[in-house]
Amino acid sequence: MTAPLLDARALVVRFGGVTALDGLDLSVHTGETVGLIGPNGSGKTTFFNALTGFVRVAGGRAQLAGADITGLEPRRIAAFGIARTFQRLRLLLDLSVFDNLMLGQHLTLDHGPWSSLFARGRFAAAVRGQADVARTLLAAFSPGLPARLFEPARALTMIDRRRVEICRALIREPALLLLDEPSAGMTPDETAELMTDLLAVKAQRPALTVVIIEHDMGVIERVSDRCVVLDYGRKLAEGSYAEVAADPVVRRAYLGED
Amino acid sequence: MDPGLLAQHVFNGLMLGVIYALVAVGFTLFFGVMDVIKFSHGDVVMLGAFTALAVAAGLTGMGVTSHPLMLLGMLVVALGLMAVVGALLARLLVLPLRGAPAINVLLITLMAGTVIREGVRLFYPQGSNPKPFPRLLPGGTVEIGSFTLRHDSAILFVIGVAAIVGVHLTLARTRLGLAIRAVAQDPETASAMGIPFTATVLATFAIGSALAALAGVVNGLYYSEISFNLGLLLGAIGFSAAVVGGLGNVYGAILGGFLFAALQTIGAVALPFASAYKDVFAFAAVIVLMALRPAGLLAERSAERV
């Protein structure tokens, strides 16, 4: 088998006396969609935060396509091709939908202080090109969204905000997309719709690699090629959804069954 | 009132408003990205004016007599140097205190302002005396009825408005502007998008301080005189304007600048007592405004921040 895209080895994260990640090994191959599940506090979001440089890694290492990204600043890790969403939605609500999507493009748009400040013509041309890209991407999630490109994100409904946040992560065509509970705060119907859109977007990008944290087991069953179950910051089980769901250890820890 | 005289007062008010807006925008930008009040800002305005004065003296000493050339040299050096000073103040005093109580930054920049002010008073030749500022702009006037428009004032007004429009365009339409707005709203999300926090903060302080230098030079050219303590009042006015407009909101700061100038003008013109009380009237009105609208005219939450 080829080398994994993401390779985390023995990751350790501590918050004071609490060990949130306790030597976690997890690797993900290019094009895979991995569902990350586990009880509250099992270290799922902490794993994302460790990968993206939002918390300090106390031990172990993480590699993306062979490059060591352990302990780098978030902005450096972003440049390696990791994009993420947040469980507590973090769109910049006072900015327009378009500005939020432009932020997602920050790394690839017009480098250098000179072009940032003075080359307005080139920036504007890039912006026009990006507006088309943004509209296409938004349309994949909702036909009504492209028309609202220049409205403030605050004006959108919860599900539209969630869609825009995913678009913001997708727009720079990351190698690895980390989705932190995209269904949080949404109705089952909205969740189903979002997952359909997500699968369609994924189908267009066979090389896109996704790790998705979810509490909704239906979502995990539907979208993931492989499941990883965390408990107390360690890997409890791994395999297909059916295998994991049938695992008695998982049922005891996660589903609270005896 | 005679319409010509009224126009005169309105223009004078607008002229002051531009200067105040330039200062207020700095306060609001700094608050936007770092949630701090940088109280040395008024003294950076003053230092910018004295830098320009020193450049004028230097160029005169070198035999340069062309007024446009002198003006260009003064602006380039004063704005450039104050941008560096602003970035240095951010790097050395503001960024290291990130996470400390905001009151510490307030105190430390208050002291830095005193150091700058006393430094100019002690080390600039006869720094404690008011200094004549060279009149470099054409001195003619246009008379429309009883309204007299001085050429130099008109030019200064245009320069100031152009700078304010420039700030707006930078924030609204450039990659750096978007980075500044993103850092102001949520530095963590911004970093996840690949935006460098420190560089963005330094750029913001550089821009705000260059605007302060411009305010200082415009102020000097308008009044033809500067003194080492001009930053005290201009700083207080700029800060008030930024707060009245809604701290963190650039358009609020601009509005606040013009509003304060309007209040001063009304205080000087419409009230029965002497114009010496115009500042008392304007600041009193600000106090009343703050009591009525504690979050400022364009409160941060309802309008786009930075």
Give me the percent of chain B exceeding a pLDDT of 90. 72
In DSSP terms, which residues pair with A12 in a beta bridge?
A22, A59
Asked, for residue A33, whether it belongs to a domain, the answer is yes
Asked, for residue A104, whether it belongs to a domain, the answer is no
What are the residues of chain B with a beta carbon less than 8 Å away from any beta carbon of chain A?
169-170, 173-176, 178-179, 181-182, 185-186, 188-197, 203, 303-305
Q: What is the pLDDT of residues B243-252, one digit of tens each?
A: 999 898 999 9
Asked, for residue A185, whether it belongs to a domain, the answer is yes
Distance spanning both ends of chain A, measured CA to CA: 37
Collapsed DSSP state (helix, strand, coil) of residue A9: strand
* All domains of chain B in start order, with CATH: 3-292 (1.10.3470)
Give the pLDDT mean for B101-125: 94
Instruction: DSSP for A10-49, please give it.
Output: EEEEEETTEEEEEEEEEEE-TT-EEEEE-STTSSHHHHHH
pLDDT at A105: 84
CA dihedral A67, A68, A73, A74 (to 10 degrees): 60
Q: What is the pLDDT of residues B124-166, one digit of tens each?
A: 999 999 999 999 998 888 888 888 889 999 999 999 999 999 9
Asked, for residue A67, whether it belongs to a domain, the answer is yes
At A140, phi and psi to the nearest 5? -65, -25
pLDDT at B42: 97
Query: What one-letter code names the amino acid at B178?
Result: L
Asked, for residue A107, whether it belongs to a domain, the answer is no
The mean pLDDT value of chain B amounts to: 91
Distance CA A13, CA A78 (A): 20
Question: What's the domain count of chain A?
Answer: 1
Determine whether the interchain pair A120/B176 forms a contact, defined as Cβ–Cβ distance below 8 Å: no
Asked, for residue A153, whether it belongs to a domain, the answer is no
Closest by CA to A232, choosing from A86, A61, A24, A55, is A24
pLDDT at A185: 84
Distance CA A218, CA A188 (A): 10
Asked, for residue A128, whether it belongs to a domain, the answer is no
Q: Indicate whether B305 pLDDT > 60.
A: no
Q: Which two tokens stand for residue A120?
A: 């307005």
Give the pLDDT mean for B177-183: 92
Identify the H or E element spanning B110. Answer: helix B102-123
Residue entry with tokens 């944290």: A213
Q: Which two tokens stand for residue A178?
A: 């980390």
Q: Nearest Cβ partner of B185 from A73, A92, A106?
A: A92
Q: Burial code of A128-140, b = ≥16 C-beta within 10 A, e = fewer?
A: eebbeebbebbeb
Distance CA B148, CA B142 (A): 6
Q: What is the pLDDT of residues B52-83, one digit of tens each?
A: 999 999 999 999 889 999 999 999 999 999 99
Determine whether the interchain pair A107/B191 forms a contact, defined as Cβ–Cβ distance below 8 Å: no
Cβ contacts of A180 on chain B, cutoff 8 Å: none
Closest by CA to B72, choosing from B101, B52, B91, is B52
Q: Indicate whether B1 pLDDT > 80.
A: no
Please list the ranges in chain A whose pLDDT falls under 50: 258
Cβ contacts of B189 on chain A, cutoff 8 Å: 86, 90, 92, 103
Kindly report the CATH number assigned to the domain that includes residue A188.
3.40.50.300
At B303, is the pLDDT very low, low, confident or very high (cuts 50, 70, 90)? very low
Collapsed DSSP state (helix, strand, coil) of residue B254: helix
Determine whether the interchain pair B175/A123 forms a contact, defined as Cβ–Cβ distance below 8 Å: yes
Q: Which two tokens stand for residue A52?
A: 């993206």
At B24, phi and psi to the nearest 5? -65, -35
Asked, for residue A115, whether it belongs to a domain, the answer is no
In DSSP terms, which residues pair with A177 in a beta bridge?
A83, A210
Q: Which of B189, B200, B207, B298 to mutate to test the interface with A (most CBs of A within 10 A)?
A: B189
Q: Which domain holds residue A195?
A: 6-81+174-253
Sign of CA dihedral A76, A81, A85, A91: positive
pLDDT at A17: 86
In this prediction the pTM is 0.89
* Radius of gyration in angstroms for the set of CA atoms belonging to chain B, rounded to a whole number: 19
Closest-CA distance of chain B to residue A90, Å: 7
Residue entry with tokens 């609500």: A93
Distance CA B186, CA A13 (A): 24
Determine how many CB atoms are found less than 10 A away from the CB of residue A231. Answer: 20
Q: What is the pLDDT of residues B189-211, one digit of tens each?
A: 999 999 999 999 999 999 999 99
At B48, is the pLDDT very low, low, confident or very high (cuts 50, 70, 90)? very high
At B284, phi and psi to the nearest 5? -60, -40
pLDDT at A10: 93
Closest-CA distance of chain A to residue B83, Å: 15
Which residues are CB-neighbours of A10 under 8 A, at least 6 positions away? A23, A24, A25, A59, A60, A61
